[in-house]
Amino acid sequence: MKSTVARVASAVGALALTLTAAGCGGSDDGSSSADGKSSVTFWGWAPGYAQAVKAFNASHPDIKVTYQAVQPGAKGGYQKMLNAVKAGNAPCLAQLGYETLPSFAAQGALQDVSAEVSADDQADFQEAAWKSVSLGEQVFGAPVDTGPMALFYNKKVFDKLGLKPPATWAEYRTAAEKIHAADPKHYVSSPYLNYDYAGLAWQADAGWFATKGDAWQVTMDSPGNKKIADYWQGLADDHLISNAPMYDQGWYTGLGNGDIATVVGAVWQAGVIKGGTKAGAGQWAVAPMPQWDANAPKAGNAGGSATAVLKGCDDTKAAWEFAHWLSTDPTTYGTLIEKAALYPAAKKLLDLPQLNKADPYFGGQNIYPVFAEAAAQVGTDWTWGPLMTKTAADLDDGLGKAWAGKSSIADALSDAQKKTLAEMGKQGLKTTP
């Protein structure tokens, strides 16, 4: 069988874009049990999701949700989901990163639940998050969290040198020079890859994909993207960037001993830094992301996910009810903040008690107001491409060489664009300059 997924989001609204993909059979999920309950299955991996399902089942006697933990998406979870859809035995619901949702849509792996969604449901969510799950007129799931970005900085290092958090990227470079000059082992940052790097481009409105008519545009080597690439290339060429890859042990060590003085990252990085860098407790603080134009503040976004409805779900009403509840129930989401450092996509949850606490790790600072301000500054025109798994892999290959001095960041973007366009051609996706 073959199926057609139409309509993808574009910067100017909903445009019809027909993508033919391998089709999907029916699913055994979304059925009614012998006692009359609706029954749906949910695949995911975020800490706290199992407890959330238990709470839902206890408060919703007519719906039973079964949670099954799978490997994180990039580590096998996404392929498992796609295989299940093709085999006709997929769960109704799955945790799906926003960046991957268009890829699933292009492969016909998602189920439209717009008939179950009210105007009030849509109004519950931040605009950028809603656009990440609503492709054209179709709705494929509920937004769960977002990843507004800010500047994590080692206040101990900054204070010793009399530095303030940089308000602009020009000031960020100046701080980098002073930090490295004071101690050659100290650097301002470390190499960024895939979606962390995408957040830097997002802030500058340097999009990677767009749609024009019924075709895709790939814009990773645009002038706007070259501006971002050249800026970070300059820092790397002047040896102001640590060579410790993010999330490697050397990175955590550098964050703990002051060798790496900043992380430009999403809100969830707070949990990563706290969990992996015990030695940095009390030394770190959070400030707004440096700006290209201080008079027009903007923030990037890195990460965020949805509870998506997979193709073949037989009970979209029950699936949507759980997905919407998971994203909007205050008690449950408070637990997700504590366990998984998720930052809500639902507007009414931005004042949860868990987001209004002084954090001893960050010197007693309540860091979340910084991210609340950033969330309102995230642009809504960013569009992810239909083959992001491959695009990200090709980009990472090039960025790895660039950060190591064997190529350039601009070349990495250009090469990733060429390879993405070639793969899109192979898969029959229409493109335009």
The stretch 390-394 carries a mean pLDDT of 95
Please say if the pLDDT value at position 32 is more than 60.
Answer: no
| Alpha helices, DSSP H, located in 204-307 | 223-237, 249-257, 269-276
pLDDT of res. 17: 41
Tell me the residue ranges of DSSP E strands in 6-116: 8-10, 13-15, 19-22, 31-32, 38-44, 63-69, 93-97
Q: Are 387 and 419 in contact (CB under 8 A)?
A: no
Each residue's pLDDT tens digit, 180-220: 999 999 999 999 999 999 999 999 999 999 988 889 999 99
The stretch 72-89 carries a mean pLDDT of 94
User: Which of 30-34, 297-301, 368-372 comes out lowest in average pLDDT?
Assistant: 30-34
With a CB cutoff of 8 Å and minimum separation 6, the contacts of 93 are 40, 41, 42, 43, 44, 65, 141, 307, 308, 309, 310, 313, 319, 322, 323
Cα of 66 vs its chain's centroid, Å = 25
Phi-psi region of 295 (alpha: psi -120 to 50; beta: other; left: phi over 0): alpha
| Alpha helices, DSSP H, located in 4-139 | 49-59, 77-87, 101-106, 119-123, 127-133
pLDDT of res. 327: 98
Cα 349 to Cα 136: distance, rounded to the nearest angstrom: 26
The stretch 72-98 carries a mean pLDDT of 95
Q: Are 310 and 113 in contact (CB under 8 A)?
A: no
Q: φ and ψ at 39, to 5 degrees? A: -135, 120
How far apart, in Å, are the Cα atoms of 278 and each of 154, 252, 270, 307? 13, 9, 12, 32
Burial, 213: exposed, middle or buried (Cβ in 10 Å; 0-12, 13-18, 19+)?
exposed
Instruction: Name residue, tokens 């299940």.
Output: 84
What confidence tier does 225 reach under pLDDT thresholds 50, 70, 90? very high
Query: Which percentage of the chain shows pLDDT scores above 70?
Result: 92
Cα 221 to Cα 414: distance, rounded to the nearest angstrom: 5
Cα 122 to Cα 135: distance, rounded to the nearest angstrom: 13
The stretch 332-358 carries a mean pLDDT of 94
Closest CA to 264 of 146, 396, 147, 150: 150
Please say if the pLDDT value at position 38 is more than 80.
Answer: yes
Q: Are 304 and 96 in contact (CB under 8 A)?
A: no
pLDDT of res. 29: 72
Q: Are 152 and 146 in contact (CB under 8 A)?
A: no
Kindly list the structural domains of the chain, giving each domain's residue range(s) and its CATH number in brackets, ordered by start: 2-145+305-351 (3.40.190.10), 147-301+361-426 (3.40.190.10)
The stretch 299-327 carries a mean pLDDT of 97
pLDDT of res. 179: 98
The stretch 34-45 carries a mean pLDDT of 86
HSE-up of 86 (CA within 13 Å, CB side)? 10
What confidence tier does 13 reach under pLDDT thresholds 50, 70, 90? very low
Please say if the pLDDT value at position 18 is more than 70.
Answer: no
With a CB cutoff of 8 Å and minimum separation 6, the contacts of 159 are none
What confidence tier does 149 reach under pLDDT thresholds 50, 70, 90? very high
Amino acid at 358: A
Q: What angle do CA 421, 422, 423 make, to 5 degrees?
A: 90
pLDDT of res. 261: 98
The stretch 134-139 carries a mean pLDDT of 88
pLDDT of res. 340: 87
Each residue's pLDDT tens digit, 275-293: 999 999 999 999 999 999 9
The stretch 310-324 carries a mean pLDDT of 97
pLDDT of res. 214: 87
What confidence tier does 27 reach under pLDDT thresholds 50, 70, 90? low
Question: Which structure tokens are listed for 362?
Answer: 């960050």
Q: Are 318 and 30 in contact (CB under 8 A)?
A: yes
H or E stretch covering 268: none
Each residue's pLDDT tens digit, 229-276: 999 999 999 999 999 999 999 999 999 999 999 999 999 999 899 999
Beta strand 63-69 with 38-44: parallel, antiparallel or unpaired?
parallel
Three state DSSP letters for 295-357: CCCCECEEEEEEEEEECCCCCHHHHHHHHHHHHHCHHHHHHHHHHHCCCECEHHHCCCHHHCC
The stretch 132-144 carries a mean pLDDT of 93
Return mean pLDDT, the chain. Answer: 91
What confidence tier does 84 reach under pLDDT thresholds 50, 70, 90? very high
Residues in the chain: 433
What confidence tier does 144 reach under pLDDT thresholds 50, 70, 90? very high
The stretch 20-39 carries a mean pLDDT of 57
Please say if the pLDDT value at position 3 is more than 60.
Answer: no
pLDDT of res. 251: 97
Closest CA to 194 of 208, 215, 178, 184: 208
